Amino acid sequence: MRRSEQREHIFKLLFMTQFNSENEMSDQVSMYFDTLGELEEKDQEAIQNKYQHILEHLDEIDQILNEYSRGWKTTRMNRVDLTALRLAVYEMKMDEEVPVGVAINEAVELAKLFGGEDSGSFVNGILGKIASGKKDSGEEHKKPRRQTHSAKIIIRSSKKDGKASKDQKNL
């Protein structure tokens, strides 16, 4: 099984945790794997291990997400987006086998596949901030002001020598 397929199964298991208690999840995980039919033991083990590691680091992952997502705390996020973000943050920060770019791309694809029309760009934006290490300061970003040019108006005197008069004005 390819890693992207494993990642999709992990995503689905993580998503289920938002609707089931911790006690219920052990049964849910068993039923989930039963519905998959033939699955190699090494793949099931890899999926379960990564799923468990993410759950163990969930508080830390959510803290990172809350630091970088201005105006969108984890309690307010769409559940699909939150699940994709949690998986990606785990891979970016705690799984050395997954390159950051791969974690971001895969999360964006999962968000597009299972989320709303803006899910992909939302997930990409937050993960981009995390990858770059740039947190928002909380201030609105102002567009730079367009530089204005000052004009100099010269009022010529009626003198024939063509010199500017003392009435020069700067605007």
What are 7-31's pLDDT values in tens digits?
A: 999 999 999 999 999 889 999 999 9
Q: Nearest CA to 77 among 129, 136, 18, 133?
A: 18
Query: pLDDT tens across 79-114, in order?
Result: 999 999 999 999 999 999 999 999 999 999 999 999
| DSSP assigned state of 133 | T
Residue 87: both structure tokens together: 């998986």
**How many whole angstroms separate alpha carbon 27 and alpha carbon 55?**
16
How do residues 106-152 score in pLDDT, each as one tens digit? 999 999 999 999 999 999 999 999 999 876 544 333 334 444 444 45
- Report whether 67 contacts 135 (CB < 8 A): yes
* Mean pLDDT, rounded, of the chain: 84
One-letter amino acid of 86: R
3-state DSSP assignment of residue 98: coil
Question: What pLDDT shows up at residue 36?
Answer: 87
pTM of the model: 0.76
